[in-house]
Structure 1
């Protein structure tokens, strides 16, 4: 696949970037959800949370999200010579995608706190930017374009 920069991004490199994105994003999000967020979600939206996570829905979310992050950020980033624009794109992708949920939740749910929305949107910006930095740096170092 060729990006607007004319640099070929092979299916093998896209597959590798997808696997690496899934590992990095999944691991960092797991740390946030188990350690980083503390009791924020339980304390502020516990009354809205299910008693346990729906693993099928969570799995589908992570697959769709990783595919979106690869398509909109990693693939074009692998075709660029500079990392800066890709980190900007990752930041924007994180803000837009997390804001979609959080602002919709504020609009349609009773008692969805603005604090959770702000923290969650900031988390989306961070995790996408961090994941892009790690994945694109690794791809440039260990799987450079031919």
Structure 2
């Protein structure tokens, strides 16, 4: 793994953990709990959560951050990847889970779109700081 790839991955991962941690833990935690009720665990399962973050950030870096030629492109492609990934998850849940509402799907898709765009931008900027 090159230094540029490592900086891209770490920058994207750190941004993702900070922003999503604030979103889930502080800003929207009570809202998710009220909308999902018994579908939510009292405490998240850390292993699958950690695996999700590692895998999703890997996809962000491979498909968006490293191929992008500018931070604007990283932001646009990140938004698209976020919409597709979160949309797949949210629309599937809305289609199959009784407690998953259209309101929740739209809210979560908007967050995933913004979050992925922002984190891919941070990852791109971190990667550009590395001298080859």
Q: TM-score, normalised by structure 1?
A: 0.84
1:47 is matched with which residue? 38
1:4 is matched with which residue? none
1:91 is matched with which residue? 79
Length, aligned pairs only? 132
1:32 is matched with which residue? 23
Higher relative contact order (CA 8 A, sep 6+): 2
Is structure 2 residue 11 aligned with structure 1 residue 11?
no
2:114 is matched with which residue? 126
Q: What are the superposed Cα offsets for residues 51-93 of structure 1, whole Å, 9 maximum, x if unpaired?
A: 321111111111111111111111112xx1x332221100000
Pairwise CA distance, 1:98: 0.5
2:47 is matched with which residue? 56
The list of structure 1 runs, each at least 4 consecutive aligned residues, that deviate by more than 4 angstroms after superposition, is: none
Larger Rg belongs to: 1
Check 1:105–1:31 CA distance in 2 against 1; reply closer, same or farther (3 A cut).
Answer: same
Q: TM-score, normalised by structure 2?
A: 0.92
Structure 1 gap segments, 5+ residues each: 1-9
Between Structure 1 and Structure 2, the one with more helix by share is: 2
Distance in structure 1 (CA, Å) of the matches to 2:45 and 2:123:
28
1:67 is matched with which residue? 58
1:5 is matched with which residue? none
RMSD between aligned alpha carbons?
Answer: 1.5
